[in-house]
Amino acid sequence: MDQDASVDLQPAWKTKPEIEKIRAELETERTWNYAEELEREATERTLVVDNAGPEEAGRMEREFEEEKFARLQDRVAGRRDFQVELINRRQDARLRLIKDYSHRQREYLLDEERSAYQEHVRHAISTKKYHKAEHKLKRKLKGNQGDVSIEVRKSAESDHDSLFGSEVRAYKVTWKRHPQPIEIRLHQARVLKDKVPKGLYSIRCSVWDRLGGQPIAFAREDPAVWKKQSRKVEHVGEYQDLELLLDDSLEVLAPSKADLRPTMVFVFELLYHGTRDEIMATGVFPLCNSELDYSQGQFKAPLLRGILHKRIQRFSDFEALYSHNVDDWLCNLYFELHKQTPLMEGQRDYTVLLTKEPEAMEQVESKGLDVFDYETLRTPDQFTGYQQSVAVDAVFSNPVARARYIAAEMVSELGILAYKHLEFYVTILFLCLAIWASRYTHYIGEFLFLKGQRVPVTTFEVKIYTIEISYPPEMSLGVEIGVVILGIVFTLSCFIFLAILAFAASRFLGNYPKWVYRFTACFGIVAVLDPLVTIIEVVLRNKSDGDMYKLYNYFGREEGSPAIGAFLTGFMYLGLIGVSLFFFYTYLLYVHMNSRLLDMYIRLTSPEPHFFLPSDSEISVRYLDWVIFKARAYRALNGDTRKVNISEYSVSGETYRHVCLYTVGVDHSRVLYRHFLVMASGAICELSGARLG
């Protein structure tokens, strides 16, 4: 059954004739012999592997491993050699780089040093030119009365090309001769009462060169701008009218700081405007304080009745007028002083910033006067800060400050810098006369000494400018020293005689000519400088036996060492200059112009307790007698009269008297009219009605 099944499964088209036919066709066609081709290629690619044993296989495996290890070693060695060569190349490159960097660094340092040196040279040249230009600018401005102040400002950005780096130098140019505006705030004249008649009053202020001198005027002082007189204020003229309320500001011009002198003063005048203007009272106050600067602050000054007399040239004389007689005192004036910007209308100051741009300039123009806020004085506590003293610390406590003050005072007294005024030429004339006179006094002193020592004087010839004296050269050391000293001492003695004469005349006669004071001061200057004048005379006359050569020649002749004589001569000259300077200083303080310099010194440096100033409500005995006389003579139409009651009180051993004036009615009732308190010191003050209760 199986065979039948298989036969049945063959396809019907696969019959034998067909197969044969296909075979015949295939045989007749050329076919590719794949078997031969495969065998040929296989033969060419056949790897013949012999049959080897285990030993041979192990050997071959070891050889293969050794060969493989050798190849790896060769590969590692090559890699190592490559790494070594790479490191060597890197090291060579680094050395070349370091060498090149060092070379370039040296070149850079050399260039930097060269640039720094060139910059230093350039900066030195620029600085030298700058300082030269700055000095020239200052000298030029000084000649034109200008003043340069330098301010160094720090800049936020540093400029290495700039002359001063991050600093900016600001030059502020001002003019020394600008007049200084001063604002005077007049508050009130206190307790004027019935001392002056009813009417309109005002205060006028001016600046004087000194007490008893002349007012100072300015060519450009415009009355429309500078106000010297206050507004007019009405005063009732009764005893109840206590204050003259001014509450006004004055603007006056004072000399510039360069022209400021210690003797300059403010002069206040109380004007009464009736049928004609009349000066009722006058007061003075220093323009300068103890620092030789303008007075500023709150002050008070006494006003004395009438016009200021020219003979009052000292503050002590002015104070003596009302300290001896209170009737000469009228009232106290309360005021404030403030310094304004020293620029007048139309003037300019400049501030120049020294930068690379020359246009960096700030221009400061006058914007008018400054405005200050003032309070009106009404309560007693508001008056406590007002004083007479202008002392600012103890600036005159050291010799330098005193010398500065005396120098400024002497410049003012002698008019040394005022070459446009007659005083300057008078001073020059007096100095020439003093030098001429000192030559005679010098040699007369030597002549008298030689006669006193019985030394034969071989020559005594009076010439128009000096005296010629000669004596035998073989003299002792004492005689030579006496000749060197006594000429100067005799000149100093003549100056002391003139000083004593001036002191006696001012004390006992009360007056001494001003020109004699000035000649005495000039002679004192020559007496101080007499050794120098003698040296100049000897040099000009080429005298080998002059005063300054006497000890030089003596020690050269006797000891063989002339240097000792020169040293002794210089030492004695310095000592005599010091002694003469002491006497001249004493004359200036206590004698010159009736000790006006000392008086001004005391006024500027004294504290407040040193001054005497009547209390605002103080009255004189004459005024009290006049009030009591009027009270006793009083009779009213309704029959009222006035009575006086005096009571004494003792407090801590001091006696006070209370004087009361009452108005007594017909019904014997009493009403307080006025009352006064007589202090233990003798001062009399009027009390207000409120103080009685």
Decide the pairing of beta strands 670-678 and 265-273. Answer: unpaired
DSSP structural state of residue 230: P
Please state the rounded mean pLDDT for residues 73-90. Answer: 87
- E strand or H helix that includes residue 200: strand 199-208
Please, which pLDDT band fits residue 558 given cuts at 50, 70 and 90?
confident
pLDDT of residue 331: 93
Mean pLDDT for 670-691 is: 85
pTM for this model (two decimals): 0.70
Q: Does residue 631 register a pLDDT over 70? A: yes
Structural contact between residues 251 and 261, judged by C-beta atoms closer than 8 angstroms: no
Residues 471-527 have pLDDT tens digits of: 888 788 889 899 999 999 999 999 999 999 999 998 888 778 888 999 999 999 999
Where do the domains of the chain lie?
59-144, 180-383, 396-609, 618-692
* Residue 387: predicted pLDDT: 93
Residue 585, both tokens: 């200083």
Query: For 377-434, what is each residue's pLDDT tens digit?
Result: 778 788 888 999 998 865 555 667 677 777 777 777 777 777 777 888 889 999 999 9
Among 284, 264, 258, 251, which Cα is nearest to 183's? 251
Instruction: Quote the CA–CA distance of 184 and 226 in Å, as a whole number.
Output: 11
Please give the full DSSP string across 269-320, using - where no structure is assigned: EEEEESSSEEEEEEEEEESB-TTSSB--EEEEEEEEESPPPTT--SHHHHHH
Q: Which long-range contacts (CB under 8 A, 24 or more apart) does 73-77 make?
A: none
The CB-side HSE value for 214 (13 A sphere, CA atoms) comes to 3
CATH topology (fold) of 180-383: Immunoglobulin-like (2.60.40)
Instruction: Give mean pLDDT, residues 658-687.
Output: 91
Q: What is the DSSP letter of 239?
A: T
Distance CA 189, CA 191 (A): 7
Residue type at 581 in one-letter notation:
L
Predicted pLDDT at 692: 41
